[in-house]
Amino acid sequence: MVMIRQFDALAAAATSPAAVRQRVEMLEHVLEGLVTVPLLNRRVGLDVLLDLIPGVGDVVAAALGGWLIWEARTLGMSRWQLARMAGNVGIDFLLGLIPVIGLVPDYLFRSNTRNLRIIKRHLDRHHPAGAVIDR
């Protein structure tokens, strides 16, 4: 019985708004800001790097973007917000499918950063105790 209570406590902690915020911020950083391009002084992440692998990279990047949407769903976000986030990932996926040239829109249209903003807005509005002031 004690083990069940401990598991329930761990499950509740994993779905807490603070834990979700931390996971989505980490995932967005990996997808959009992993390394800095020297001459442009702009950060790129796994989303752009995966675009170098034709076809498969775009699917993997879209699946990782889908994870952000799944996390948003666990927060109880509205269908409108989830649809907007899915649209961002869909646009990013379709633009990334263009061979070679698809790197540029993928570099400029940061769907995961947009989706993180939507999630943060929701968290700040509905779970103000975990709100963080961004720089």
Q: Report d(CA 124, CA 113) in Å as an integer.
A: 16
Check pLDDT > 50 for residue 76: yes
3-state secondary structure 73-119: HHCCCCHHHHHHHHHHHHHHHHHHCCCCCCHHHHHHCCHHHHHHHHH
Place of tokens 């002084």: 41
Task: Output the average pLDDT for the chain.
Answer: 85
* Range with the poorest average pLDDT among 11-25, 39-53, 78-92, 110-124: 11-25
| pLDDT (0 to 100) of residue 52 | 84
CA 46, distance to chain mean position in Å, is 12
